[in-house]
Structure 1
Amino acid sequence: MRKLVYYVGTTLDGFIAGPDGADPTGPNGFWPIPEDYVRHIVERYPETLPVQARAALSVTGEGTHFDTVLEGRRSYEIGLKAGVADAYPHLRHLVFSRTLTKSPAPAVELVADDPVDTVRKLKQEDGKDIWLVGGAELAGALYGEIDRLILKVAPLTAGAGIPLFSHKATFDPRSWRRTDCTMLDSGAVVLTYARTTAAVTPAIDG
């Protein structure tokens, strides 16, 4: 069965963007993108590069991990405001929104249905894994459906901003097993965790 993978960049203190929700790696962003960080993505996860970056880096490979990307409306609109209606034309691209009524790009599928129901149906289909790109609201709504975490941890802190999961995530402690760790010379660490079935046992005082 296909897995839902939350593949996302995060600061050391757990933020994926600043308080304004803008792209932290953009022209006015606070998130540096070292050469080895880009090289790692090109070599391991080329399908997660947006169309502009793929063109600039001459990336044409379809990748081996994902064939579907899920995105929330706020995350999608970051690219839309920059003039990019479909950042991932090489993937099946689903955008979850109850306010957008017409897709700005023919290949972008707007989904107004419950994200959990939609993901459970997608998992039953044939294909590669499903990439949850963000943002925090969609990740919070899909918290219980995430099978794998791939965290690109940048060597910086933000202090405040958009967290990995929004308030929509219910309090539900889960155990994760580390399956991979890549340390880059620039300071970033790429951590991969698979969800385990073991329950988290609360600590006992005294």
Structure 2
Amino acid sequence: MRKLVYFVASTLDGFVAGPDGADPTGPDGFWPIPQDYIEYLAAEYPETLPGPARQALGITAEGDRFDTVVEGRLSYEIGLKAGLADAFPHLRHLVFSRTLRQSPDPAVQVVQDDPVAVVRELKREDGKDIWIVGGGSLAGALYPEIDRLIVKMAPLTIGTGIPLFGRGAAFGARTWRLTDHVVMGSGAMFLTYDRASAEGEPA
């Protein structure tokens, strides 16, 4: 069965964005993007780079991890403001929103149904894994369905901001097994955790 993977950049203190939710890697952003980090992404996770970045880097590889990306409306609007109606044209792209009535791009599917139900259907389909690109609120809504965490840990603290699972996630203790880790010379880390158990489940 396909896995739901939350592949996300996080600060050391557990935030995925600043308090305003704006793109922390944009022109006015505060997030460091070292060269070794970009090179590792391009080599190991080429499908997670937006279309313009792939083009600039000469990347044509499909990648062997994901064929579907899901995101929330606020995360999607960051791309829209940058002029990207479909930041990932090389992937099946779903945007969960109860207020966005029409997709700005024919290749992007706007979904108003329950994210958990939709993701359970996606998992039953054939294909590669499903990537949650963001934001924290969608990850919080899908928390029970996440099978793998890949945290791109930045050597950065910001004190406050949008937490890894948003501000409205329900409490649910869960343990994870560290299955891979890569430490960059720049101090960035890629930490891969597979779901071990949730509260009430056998470990």
With the length of structure 2 as denominator, give the TM-score of the two structures.
0.97
- 2:148 maps to 148
Asked if 1:197 corresponds to 2:197, the answer is: yes
Asked if 1:34 corresponds to 2:34, the answer is: yes
Question: Could you say what secondary structure the match of 2:75 adopts?
Answer: helix
Aligned mates of 1:200, 1:126 — CA distance in 2: 30
Q: Percent sequence identity over matched residues? A: 68
> Retained in 2: the 8 A contact 1:174–1:200?
no
Instruction: Give the gaps of 5 or more residues in structure 2.
Output: none
Matches within 5 A, 1:86-97: 86-97=86-97
Matches within 5 A, 1:108-147: 108-147=108-147
Question: Could you say what secondary structure the match of 1:197 adopts?
Answer: strand
- 1:73 maps to 73
Aligned mates of 2:73, 2:104 — CA distance in 1: 12
Q: Give, in angstroms, the shift of residue 198 of structure 1.
A: 6.6
Q: How many residues align?
A: 201
Instruction: Give the gaps of 5 or more residues in structure 1.
Output: 202-206
Runs of 4+ residues over 4 Å off in structure 1: 198-201
> Retained in 1: the 8 A contact 2:172–2:199?
no
Question: Could you say what secondary structure the match of 2:138 adopts?
Answer: helix
- 1:14 maps to 14
CA RMSD across the alignment: 1.2
With the length of structure 1 as denominator, give the TM-score of the two structures.
0.95
> Retained in 1: the 8 A contact 2:72–2:138?
yes
Aligned mates of 1:170, 1:137 — CA distance in 2: 11
Q: Give, in angstroms, the shift of residue 167 of structure 1.
A: 3.3
Aligned mates of 2:163, 2:120 — CA distance in 1: 24
- Counterpart amino acid of 1:48? T
Aligned mates of 2:80, 2:187 — CA distance in 1: 31
